[in-house]
Amino acid sequence: MSSPVTKTSFDPHPDTLITAAQRLARGEITSRQLVEHCLNKIETCENARAAFTGDFSAERARQYADAADRIRAKGYQASPWAGVPISVKDLFDIKGQVTRAGSTILADRPPALSDAEAIAPLRDAGFIFIGRTQMTEFAYSGLGLNPHGPQPWNTLIDEGKAIPGGSSSGGAVSVATGAALAAIGSDTGGSCRIPAAMNALTGYKPSAGRISRAGMIPLSPSFDSVGSIARTVSDCALLDHLMAGGNPGHWSAPEPVESGLRLLLPTSFVRNDADAQILAVFETVMRHLESGGIEIVRQPLPLLQDIADLNIQAQIVAAESFHYFHDDLIQHPDQFDPRVSERMMMGEHTSVQTLRQLFIERQKLIARFNAEMSGFDAMVCPTTPILPPQIAACFDPDSYGRFNRLVLRNPSLANLLDGCSITLPLNWKGLPAGIMLTACNGQDSRVQRVARRCEVRLSAS
């Protein structure tokens, strides 16, 4: 078995959010040094530069870093995270900036008067927003492609430029190239977890109601959630804690589940049409987890095929996005990415009665999932069943649709079933793929602890 990696731009910062904060506290580094590292990556790495929108401001980042260093030098520390640089997806309001959500049609909006409610706690904690990141237009694709601006690409397969994964494409690339220590994104059907997996990072989607979405451009309120992309489970857990309103000074990293861990591995659906290399490595990883004392139960989960047959999520997302963007779709159709507007227009004729029935059917599926997960800590499966295709291979509309459906299929289960989910890198020679853990709604702390146990075991591989 040979690695697919040839030439790459994968070069994340050596520090995680937590180790950076620890080194700042010990005086081993400064915030200015952290920021300069990120800025140097943006200036010297084409892919890192493509990860950001035109709102990027190096001088603003330097000013915030210097301010954090001056305060720390005086012995005052409002937050242990003050002065650590992160990136923010372009669909969150940041005070004084225009929120375009990866589009041109929103370019004339007035600057935001305040931060989005998920972003405000991060500013209060002292994080430096190094820049806004590129995304699929209105977050409506899992491939991470956008015709309106610079196109970031996969950091593990630079030759030929493969897709970065989306819709939080720029966020993942910003972290993977070392241009940010973590990224804030959204996740409606896998938009944090897909690009994280495809760039050997950790991506987290919390229970949808856990973090406020006020000040965020919606795609589908029924499925949207606020997530994060980082190097480690603990970094994602930290950002989740803060965005959910937790105290910056009262947080501890999730402790790995030590015993009695049971994972459900469905024997079908999540592995259908999977790349042979992903399946081979995934099975090797499963055996490695089992040899470390983690019980993995392989059994059918008929619920998953019922989900595919009903196609509930696609219909609801199309209807809700069409409703939100209705006026612009009718008045300015030429300003949309046609691959996005085509999917939105599929919701034009969905009636209120049909939507109501879809919501009822969704609740039935959620109840079934919660019941079938009794006795298991999480469901485990490949994050995406395929390796990232070349960007050029996605130009054909049929190929675009097929690839998009495949990369969204597994991650979107957590959104439809109102759960929480995290992806971990497979940790095999830079393979652009991940393993995903999904648990029921409200089990965020538990799934983070499960992920920590898996992360520790994988690091021993």
Check residue 461 and give its pLDDT.
64
Q: Is residue 11 part of a domain?
A: no
Share of the chain above pLDDT 90, in %: 93
Q: Whole-angstrom Cα distance, residue 170 to residue 386?
A: 20
pLDDT at 47: 97
What local confidence, expressed as pLDDT, does residue 169 receive? 98
Domain assignment present for residue 256? The answer is no
DSSP letter at 214 equals: T
Residues 120, 24 share a domain: yes
Same domain, 171 and 272: no
What residues does 434 pair with on adjacent strands?
Answer: 425
CA distances from 438 to 107, 156, 185, 290, 380 (A): 36, 25, 18, 18, 7
Name the token pair of 246: 């937790």
Q: What is the pLDDT averaged over residues 71-94?
A: 95
CA dist 337 and 148 (Å) reads 8
Same domain, 60 and 176: yes
In a domain, 101, yes or no: yes
Q: Which helix (H) or strand (E) holds 227?
A: strand 226-230
- pLDDT recorded at residue 3: 36
- 121 and 237 both lie in a single domain: yes
Residue 232 in domain: yes
- Same-domain status, 266 and 216: no
Q: Is residue 424 part of a domain?
A: yes
Amino acid letter at 369? F
240 with 344, same domain: the answer is: no
Cβ-in-10-Å burial (0-12, 13-18, 19+) of 118 comes to buried
DSSP code for 216: B
pLDDT(297) > 80 = yes
State whether 190 and 307 are in the same domain. Answer: no
User: Among the three residues 244, 272, 305, which one is the final residue of a domain in this structure?
Assistant: 244
Q: pLDDT digits over 24-37, tens only? A: 999 999 999 999 99
Same domain, 225 and 321: no
| pLDDT reported for residue 158 | 74
Q: What is the mean pLDDT of residues 277-304?
A: 96
Helix (H, G, I), strand (E, B) or coil at 421: strand
Cα–Cα distances (Å) from 270 to 60, 186, 297, 357, 364, in that order, read 45, 22, 15, 26, 20
Cα distance between residue 168 and residue 82, in whole Å:
24
H or E element that contains 323: helix 312-324
Residues 6+ apart with CB under 8 A from 7: 158, 159
pLDDT-derived band at 160, boundaries 50, 70, 90: confident
Domain boundary among 209, 244, 279: 244
Q: Is the pLDDT of residue 154 over 80?
A: yes
251 is a domain residue: no
pLDDT bucket at 19, cuts 50 / 70 / 90: very high
Distance CA 240, CA 182 (A): 12
Pairing, β 420-425 against β 434-439: antiparallel
Domain count, the chain: 2
In this predicted model, what pLDDT tens digit does every residue of 342-353 receive, in sequence order?
999 999 999 999
Determine the pLDDT at residue 429.
76
Q: Is residue 159 part of a domain?
A: yes
Contacts of 455 (CB under 8 A, 6+ apart): 202, 232, 233, 256, 424
Phi, psi of 96 (to 5 degrees): 90, 0
pLDDT above 90: residue 5: no
Domain boundary among 192, 213, 244: 244
Q: Which residues are catalytic?
A: 89, 167, 191
Indicate whether 65 and 190 sit together in one domain: yes
Q: Are residues 304 and 228 in the same domain?
A: no
pTM greater than 0.85: yes
Establish if 12 belongs to a structural domain.
no
Scanning 130-221, the segments in alpha helix (DSSP H) are 169-176, 193-198
Name the phi and psi angles at 348, rounded to 5.
-60, -40
The C-alpha atoms of residue 418 and residue 366 are separated, in whole angstroms, by: 7
- Per-residue pLDDT of 240-250, as tens digits, reads 999 999 999 88
Question: Taking the mean position of all CA atoms in its chain, how far away is CA 60?
Answer: 26
Looking at every residue in the chain, the average pLDDT score rounds to 95
Tokens of 40: 């140097």
Give 33: exposed, middle or buried? Use CB within 10 Å, 0-12, 13-18, 19+. middle
Residue 248's nearest CA partner among 132, 129, 128, 123 is 123
Per residue in 393-441, pLDDT tens? Answer: 999 999 999 999 999 999 999 999 999 999 999 977 789 999 999 999 9
The more confidently predicted of residues 461 and 356 is 356
Residues 170 and 280 placed together within one structural domain of the fold: no
Compare 124 and 159 and report the one with higher pLDDT.
Answer: 124
Across 255-274, average pLDDT: 95
Q: How far apart are CA 405 and CA 409, in angstroms?
A: 6
In degrees to the nearest 10, what's the CA dihedral of 224, 52, 170, 44? Answer: -160
Domain that holds residue 297: 262-460
CATH number of the domain that residue 366 is part of: 3.90.1300.10
Residue 182 shares a structural domain with residue 222: yes
Measured CA to CA in angstroms, residue 333 lies from 252, 323, 400 at distances of 48, 14, 20
pLDDT tens for residues 202-215? Answer: 999 999 999 999 99
Q: Supply the pLDDT for residue 7.
A: 60
* CB atoms near residue 302 (< 10 Å): 12
